[in-house]
């Protein structure tokens, strides 16, 4: 189902987003490149967080020593 949030192992090239409207674009010949438009406030992240995409689990994660970071499931498609 397109509106269901779930873990997506090794997602193919394309656009993805989280429930809090952060966006991820995966690109490249082998899908190894990614860009993140991270929604700091809605993801409840602090200014020291470092967002990245975890290809092994298919989730957006943010690391931080100050607030302990977090993670969010992604769903296919751009934000609506």
**What tokens does 44 get?**
């409840």
- Sheet containing strand 70-73, edge to edge, reads 50-54, 59-63, 70-73
Written as one string, the DSSP assignment of 26-70 is EESTTS-EEEEE--TTTTT--TT-EEEEETTTTEEEEE-TTT--E
**What tokens does 32 get?**
């190894």
pTM beyond 0.85, yes or no: no
What confidence tier does 1 reach under pLDDT thresholds 50, 70, 90?
very low
Q: What is the pLDDT of residues 17-69, one digit of tens each?
A: 999 999 999 998 776 788 999 999 999 999 999 999 887 788 899 999 999 99
Cβ–Cβ contacts within 10 Å for residue 17, how many? 21
């Amino acid at each position: 189902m397109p509106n269901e949030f779930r873990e997506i192992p090794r997602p193919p090239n394309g656009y993805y987003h989280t429930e809090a409207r952060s966006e991820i674009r995966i690109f490249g010949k082998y899908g190894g490149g990614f860009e993140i438009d991270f929604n700091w406030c809605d993801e409840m992240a602090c200014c020291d967080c470092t967002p990245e995409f975890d290809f092994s689990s298919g989730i957006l994660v943010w690391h931080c020593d100050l607030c302990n970071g977090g993670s969010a499931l992604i769903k296919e498609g751009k934000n609506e």
